[in-house]
Structure 1
């Protein structure tokens, strides 16, 4: 079992990509800390019998909640090996219609929370252990300015989402440079259009992709598991696009 006895914190674990990451890590022997604003019953009910897990429900934008999650993890398991910053929001308002409320929501959920959890697991826990795997879910929108859907308006991911995910990529690279000396790697997976709640109801034209279909959460989870593994110890600061080839020029 590739992740036997590893302790993994996963944000946004109630559904979608986070749920799939949790299930795959658990199947490989990891102890799972499920973090979400919503109850994770669907994920928990899908675990194999005997899976060791901890559910933490709250707002990942709240520093006190983030610290409480990490403290509960350490109290129960004594250590933390893997952090997957997955939870996110995506407003689809264009620049003209973008509100400050939506801007703050996307930036705080996607970028601020990634910073908060990274800081909380590294200092002192991963640093003292001399080991850690941090995987941040960004997006090809943070690279190319937004995946265009088939709709004329409010289909493309908005400027707040693109800015937040671009920030996640920049933060990933900064953290990787800072923490490599402690045996901690930090990488990012950048999905393209993927069938989750965020993309529900949005019509994506995948005909221009090399692989003509929407991505599935399992496609993204497979990439996350590589970065989270002990075998990825010489890989850091990378942004892996899992996008069906849409980024090919």
Structure 2
């Protein structure tokens, strides 16, 4: 997929979808920058080669974001791919949600994507005339929250849905802005996927065309296309990887 020796920053790389993305990119010869608030030791043990950089900290902190990009440029000289994957998901409803819950999801899911996009593009991707930005959103950002469990219990909350809807809007805005500079921006919108965020929450997959939970590698496969040079004529797209639950 023409990814060998590219440099990719992946947020939320310690586990789940971010881990799968980092591993699959590494298998394609990509130098991976693993960003998380938790240790990425497990992910590192799974990489296809030893060219990686681990950056641990709070992705909502502008200084940490800039330091991460600076470390990436310092080691590799450039950055080709940014995957804004890290996220949180409150399941409280509108009545019980607190401002703290709201801020956590909005800042982790949307603010951090803005911060990393800005830091990678200006000046690095723009000066290089090349870049691939992939934002992990959710079908919740399209339909107002995926219902799960009995009587709708377990539905992702309003902050999560709003933040992922914001990620989709940001994706389209950035795509329009940066297309002339050879930079594409796309989003992958997972449906119910087996990660720590969904652990312990029952999902009824009987209404899906593909009647199972998604796996992190399903999402990573979609990211690989958007990260590659094969996607050079594809931008501002939201690819639903959801087992067909969003059909009509």
Give 1:173-188 correspondences, 5 Å limit: 173-188=172-187
Aligned to 2:21: 21
Matched, 1:150 2:149: yes
Matched, 1:87 2:86: yes
Classify 1:154/1:91 alpha carbon distance in 2 versus 1 (closer, same or farther; 3 Å).
Answer: farther
Aligned to 1:39: 39
Aligned to 2:168: 169
Question: Deviation per CA, 1:33-73, whole angstroms, max 9, x where unpaired?
Answer: 0000000000001112x330000000000000000000000
Give 1:200-239 correspondences, 5 Å limit: 200-239=199-238
- Contact kept, 8 Å, 1:93 with 1:154, in 2: the verdict is no
- Contact kept, 8 Å, 1:85 with 1:136, in 2: the verdict is yes
Alpha-carbon shift at residue 217 of structure 1 (Å):
0.3
Aligned length: 248
Return the alpha-carbon distance in structure 2 between the equivalents of residues 154 and 167 of structure 1. Answer: 24
- Contact kept, 8 Å, 1:94 with 1:154, in 2: the verdict is no
Aligned to 1:2: 2
- Contact kept, 8 Å, 2:84 with 2:136, in 1: the verdict is yes
In structure 1, the residue corresponding to 2:150 is in which secondary structure? coil
Give 1:86-165 correspondences, 5 Å limit: 86-152=85-151, 154-165=153-164
- Contact kept, 8 Å, 2:147 with 2:153, in 1: the verdict is no
- Contact kept, 8 Å, 1:89 with 1:198, in 2: the verdict is yes
Structure 1 length as normaliser, TM-score? 0.98
Alpha-carbon shift at residue 154 of structure 1 (Å):
4.6
Return the alpha-carbon distance in structure 1 between the equivalents of residues 176 and 152 of structure 2. Answer: 39
Q: Which runs of 4+ in 1 moved over 4 A?
A: none
Question: Deviation per CA, 1:70-91, whole angstroms, max 9, x where unpaired?
Answer: 0000000000000000000000
Return the alpha-carbon distance in structure 1 between the equivalents of residues 218 and 164 of structure 2. Answer: 19
Question: Deviation per CA, 1:135-158, whole angstroms, max 9, x where unpaired?
Answer: 000000000000000233650000
In structure 1, the residue corresponding to 2:33 is in which secondary structure? strand
Aligned to 2:239: 240
In structure 1, the residue corresponding to 2:194 is in which secondary structure? coil
Return the alpha-carbon distance in structure 2 between the equivalents of residues 65 and 200 of structure 1. Answer: 29
- Contact kept, 8 Å, 1:82 with 1:132, in 2: the verdict is yes
Alpha-carbon shift at residue 2 of structure 1 (Å):
3.1
- Contact kept, 8 Å, 1:190 with 1:239, in 2: the verdict is yes
